[in-house]
Amino acid sequence: MTTIISPASILGSQSPRLKSLPPLGLYIHIPWCMKKCPYCDFNSHEVRGGEGNVPEAEYVAALIRDLEAALPQVWGRRVTSVFFGGGTPSLFSARSIDAILAAVRALLPLEHFAEITLEANPGTFEVKKFADFRAAGINRLSIGIQSFNPGHLQSLGRIHDDRETHRAIEIAQKNFDNVNLDLMYALPDQTLEQARNDIETAAAYGVSHISAYHLTLEPNTLFHRYPPPLPDDDLSAEMQIMIEETLAQGGYINYETSAFALHGRESRHNMNYWTFGDYLGIGAGAHSKISFADKIVRQIRYKQPREYLAKTAPDVAASGAPMMEQHEVGRNDRSFEFMMNALRLTRGFTTEMFTERTGLPITGIRRQLDEAERRQLIVHDYRHIAPTLTGKRFLNDLLQIFLPEKSDM
């Protein structure tokens, strides 16, 4: 029996093509921290024997070789933002950060006035060091405050106290006009008034950006193995509403589930992430999403610093980027991955952006959109899609509607 394959079926099996490539960000991972926090599931590694035991110069050289090896994947594309994450990137000297940024500028076309963010923890702040970070080209600082309450800082395993927290913010504001404060709520034994005090204290500083994350018990963390007493769902929801109302009164716009910014001060790097933009990640355990005309790929670098350094050694670096894992994002997964990010945006997104970033027509998820609207989780028309207040509150329920029904063939 002869099987006849129609042209339509052949076309349907082809990978969707992108008419244009999205913006490109650069993520640089510094994996070391002074102490591993019990809630942290990031690829971070506690410094053994003091800060001087970090192989800083060797790691900087490895990052540069990693970037050089990755260039063919992003050749000619402009970089719109740079983000140093960790770990605690502020453990590194300003000289090292300067050397990394010098290599970035030499190897990639960096957009004029690109946003360049460095994550820092209060226990690493020194006046001269942060002035030098600014001189090296860092123009946005993200400080891991988590709480202003000394008891909660202790329960979270932070190495700084409340006095160091206030001092760090003051130093930051003397050197940077774009500062983010990371806070957490629904902490062990936290009351609504304690959460309110944290958020009001942060807002009083008038920084350009505040992130407020719900503490979750992630697998492979100490808190997951030994759960502390956390606020129940009702109290956590009260805290979230209080945070949104308090920051709105302070002039902050809740533009993403956990992100609040003064007008025009949204994080450009994170906005690119949430709108399914591209990012090249270098460093131990860094993730990348790179689009090509005919495919979208995700990559993960080797996670353990020693293994990463071995894979980027001069004698092996010529064999390519130190990739632990790489896979292509299939047709069925593109829609879900886009929605998983973009539905976190309070204002939602345009249907045109969905098509531009996925290469797929919005009609491919019409049934899911109608179901989400029927359940009052989104509002949508032919031009725009946005979560409702209910959709924001029950984001996981909303996202489940868009889960792929079956894997790509």
Residue 126: what pLDDT? 85
**CA-angle at 329, arms to 328 and 335, nearest 5°:** 170
Closest of 302, 289, 320, 280 to residue 65, by C-alpha: 320
Region for 307 from its dihedrals, namely left if φ exceeds 0, alpha if ψ lies in -120 to 50, beta otherwise = alpha
Q: What is the mean pLDDT of residues 153-177?
A: 93
- DSSP state at residue 265: -
The 10s digit of each residue's pLDDT in 357-385 is 999 999 999 999 999 999 999 999 889 99
Kindly report the average pLDDT of the chain as a whole number: 92
CB 104 within 8 A of CB 116: no
Q: How far apart are the first and last CA of the chain?
A: 24
Confidence at residue 5, expressed as pLDDT on a 0 to 100 scale = 34
Q: Classify 50 as helix, strand or coil.
A: coil
What is the C-alpha separation between 277 and 272, in angstroms, rounded? 5
pLDDT digit string, tens, across residues 124-136: 888 899 999 999 9
Contact (Cβ atoms closer than 8 angstroms) between residue 286 and residue 301:
yes
Scanning 250-330, the segments in alpha helix (DSSP H) are 268-274, 305-311
For 336-393, give the DSSP string: HHHHHHHTTBTT-EEHHHHHHHHSS-GGGGHHHHHHHHHTTSEEE-SSEEEE-HHHHH
Is the Cβ–Cβ distance between 146 and 184 less than 8 Å?
A: yes
Tally Cβ neighbours within 10 Å of residue 362.
19
CA distance 148 to 131: 24
Q: Which of 110, 111, 129 is nearest to 120 (CA)?
A: 129
Alpha helices, H only, 108-232: 127-136, 150-155, 162-175, 192-204, 222-225
Dig out the tokens for 232 from the structure. Answer: 């129940």
Find out whether 60 and 99 touch, Cβ atoms under 8 Å: yes
Q: Using DSSP bridges, classify how beta strands 278-282 and 24-30 pair: parallel, antiparallel or unpaired.
A: parallel
Share of the chain above pLDDT 70, in %: 94
Answer whether residue 408 shows pLDDT above 50: no
What is the reported pLDDT for 49?
Answer: 65
Distance between CA atoms of residues 187 and 293, nearest Å = 45
Question: Tens digits of per-residue pLDDT, 278-332?
Answer: 999 999 999 999 999 999 999 999 999 999 999 999 877 566 789 999 999 998 8
Residue 13 pLDDT class (50, 70, 90 cuts): very low
Q: Which of 170, 191, 189, 180 is CA-nearest to residue 146?
A: 180
Write down how long the chain is.
Answer: 409
What is the set of domains in the chain, with CATH numbers?
A: 24-273 (3.20.20.70), 331-400 (1.10.10.10)
* DSSP β-bridge partners for residue 253: 261
Q: What are phi and psi of 16, to 5 degrees?
A: -60, 145
SS3 146: strand
Nearest to 150 by CA among 136, 140, 139, 164: 164
Is 209:260 a contact under the CB 8 Å cutoff?
Answer: yes
Amino acid at 171: I
**Residue 352 CB contacts under 8 Å (≥ 6 apart), including other chains:** 383
Total Cβ atoms within 10 A of residue 331 = 19
Residue 3's pLDDT is 35
- pTM of structure: 0.93
Peptide bond into 87 cis (omega under 30): yes
